[in-house]
Amino acid sequence: MLHNKRILLIVAGGIAAVKVPDLIRRLRERGASVRCILTKGGAQFVTPLSLAALSGQHVYQDLFSLTDESEMGHIRLSREADIILVAPATADMIAKMSHGIADDLATTALLATDKPVMIAPSMNVMMWTHPAVQVNLETLKARGVSVFGPGAGDLACGEVGDGRMAEVMDLVSALGRHFQKQRGDGALARFRIVVTSGPTIEPIDPVRYIANRSSGKQGHAIAAALADMGAQVTLVSGPTQEADPDGITVVKVETAAQMLKAVRAALPCDIAVCAAAVADWHVADVSKIKLKKSTAPPRINLAPNPDILATLAQPGKQRPSLVIGFAAETSDVIEKAKIKRAEKNCDWIVANDVSPGSGTFGSENNTVHVITAEGVQNWPTMTKREVAEKLADLVATFAAKKL
């Protein structure tokens, strides 16, 4: 979606500007060209030289630079782009945009443009929730500016809450979705897809539960990658810290039973991807009151949970045409995954090693083996986002041939 797209990236003065070099790298990897305008504030956090080196283009900084204006006037700069992305968009930049102030190259280009504008706000949580900022944002939204993020989490100022600039890969996806919407022809545009992600948690009593180490990173990345290709995605997720991917219906659940119910409610669908780490058991006799610490630890009676993947993959009218499971193994990964694929009747199974040394749970990377009726594909170690994109490509190829 980003191939040959021209992005004018305006870097304002916030700590999140340190993420911009990675953003440029990721956009260029996907075939986009990136031209930067660096504000005075932005230059406090990132150097023009690093942006020039990474973008492979001159970095524009000064409205009244004779060289810059003669080489590329600010009007041309703002028009020779397919989109303008302001990242990070500070409270000051948002205020200037909202009021039409044009007192430097960045704000002048923003006023002079006839191209879509997307902003990725980044600021302290109190600034973000301040009515002045929110009113300015509403003004921008009403004028058609897309606002992406911010996310919640630890802020550079030491406080916690909303205000973190969206993660780099989420911004890349948002840009991809923008261009896809413009074209309206994503490779999976006709398809409804259900994705499960994250852990399930099974209560013991009102305060305790049994859980597992899944972070939801892999499942969420898959849902986002499929949506990037135009699919209508329902993501059924157990509790995670991951942000809801943009443009996706997200159903939040806790237990396996709730996950199954939510997945059933999302049917019929064309494709299902079960990346959730569903607990195999639940506590049969959940206590309504907090169990008291006694001399003897309580006996916990476990009962089996429904198998969501196997239920979905059962032959029948509502079976999705392509059912993809995951297999999390700690030994004989491929052999055990092959057995799981057969037992659960899924079409493909994505096997990964989750033994403690693998670092698969919760990390950014994964090494997977994709097992289909045709054989085993061993993929190199990649980021979970890259695994998701490669899997989405495979799904799109399958869908184009068989669905």
For ligand PMT, the closer CB: 78 or 352? 352
- In the numeric block, which tokens belong to residue 225? 């990658």
Member of 26, 96, 319, 340 binding ligand PMT (CB under 6 A): 340
Q: Dihedral of the CA atoms 394, 280, 290, 206 (nearest 10)?
A: 30
Residues known to be catalytic: 157
For ligand PMT, the closer CB: 27 or 327? 327
H or E segment to which residue 375 belongs: strand 375-378
Alpha carbons 322 and 42: distance in angstroms, whole number: 47
Q: Which burial class, exposed, middle or buried, applies to 196 when counting CB atoms under 10 A from its CB (0-12, 13-18, 19+)?
A: buried
Member of 78, 146, 214, 234 binding ligand PMT (CB under 6 A): 214
H or E segment to which residue 328 belongs: strand 322-329
Alpha carbons 253 and 326: distance in angstroms, whole number: 19
Site string for ligand PMT, 29-68 (x = CB under 6 A): ----------------------------------------
Span near ligand PMT by CB under 6 A; candidates 124-132, 153-161, 179-187, 303-311 = 303-311
Member of 216, 238, 245, 320 binding ligand PMT (CB under 6 A): 216
Alpha carbons 201 and 190: distance in angstroms, whole number: 33
Query: Is 269 one of the binding residues for ligand PMT (CB under 6 A)?
Result: no
Span near ligand PMT by CB under 6 A; candidates 9-17, 86-94, 161-169, 301-309 = 301-309
Alpha carbons 271 and 193: distance in angstroms, whole number: 5
Member of 11, 97, 266, 354 binding ligand PMT (CB under 6 A): 354
Alpha carbons 389 and 134: distance in angstroms, whole number: 34
For ligand PMT, the closer CB: 100 or 306? 306
Binding residues for ligand PMT restricted to 309-328, rule: CB under 6 A: 309, 325-328
Query: Is 262 one of the binding residues for ligand PMT (CB under 6 A)?
Result: no
For ligand PMT, the closer CB: 79 or 261? 261
Query: Is 237 one of the binding residues for ligand PMT (CB under 6 A)?
Result: no
For ligand PMT, the closer CB: 18 or 339? 339
Member of 61, 215, 234, 255 binding ligand PMT (CB under 6 A): 215
Span near ligand PMT by CB under 6 A; candidates 12-20, 41-49, 274-282, 390-398 = 274-282
Cβ atoms within 10 Å of 264's Cβ, excluding its own: 14
Query: Is 348 one of the binding residues for ligand PMT (CB under 6 A)?
Result: no
Positive or negative: CA dihedral 220, 223, 224, 225: positive
For ligand PMT, the closer CB: 206 or 362? 362
Minimum distance from CB of 216 to ligand PMT (Å)?
5
For ligand PMT, the closer CB: 321 or 358? 358
For ligand PMT, the closer CB: 21 or 216? 216
Strands (E) across 187-321 are located at 192-197, 202-203, 209-210, 232-237, 249-252, 271-274, 281-283, 302-304
Query: Is 206 one of the binding residues for ligand PMT (CB under 6 A)?
Result: no
Q: Are 120 and 83 in contact (CB under 8 A)?
A: no
Alpha carbons 31 and 175: distance in angstroms, whole number: 13
Minimum distance from CB of 196 to ligand PMT (Å)?
6
Minimum distance from CB of 328 to ligand PMT (Å)?
4
Nearest to 79 by CA among 33, 37, 115: 115
State the number of binding residues for ligand PMT (CB under 6 A).
Answer: 29
Q: Are 267 and 318 in contact (CB under 8 A)?
A: yes
Please report, for residues 9, 91, 123, 135, 311, the alpha-carbon distance to residue 88 in angstroms, rounded to integers and kept in the order given: 10, 10, 9, 19, 45
Member of 23, 275, 333, 388 binding ligand PMT (CB under 6 A): 275
H or E segment to which residue 382 belongs: strand 382-383
Query: Is 217 one of the binding residues for ligand PMT (CB under 6 A)?
Result: yes
Q: Are 342 and 318 in contact (CB under 8 A)?
A: no
Span near ligand PMT by CB under 6 A; candidates 44-52, 70-78, 118-126, 209-217 = 209-217
| H helices present in 166-231, as ranges | 168-183, 217-228
Minimum distance from CB of 330 to ligand PMT (Å)?
10
Alpha carbons 106 and 141: distance in angstroms, whole number: 19
Provide the binding-site residues for ligand PMT, judged by CB under 6 A. Answer: 196, 214-219, 256, 274-278, 280, 305, 307-309, 325-328, 340, 352, 354, 360-362, 384
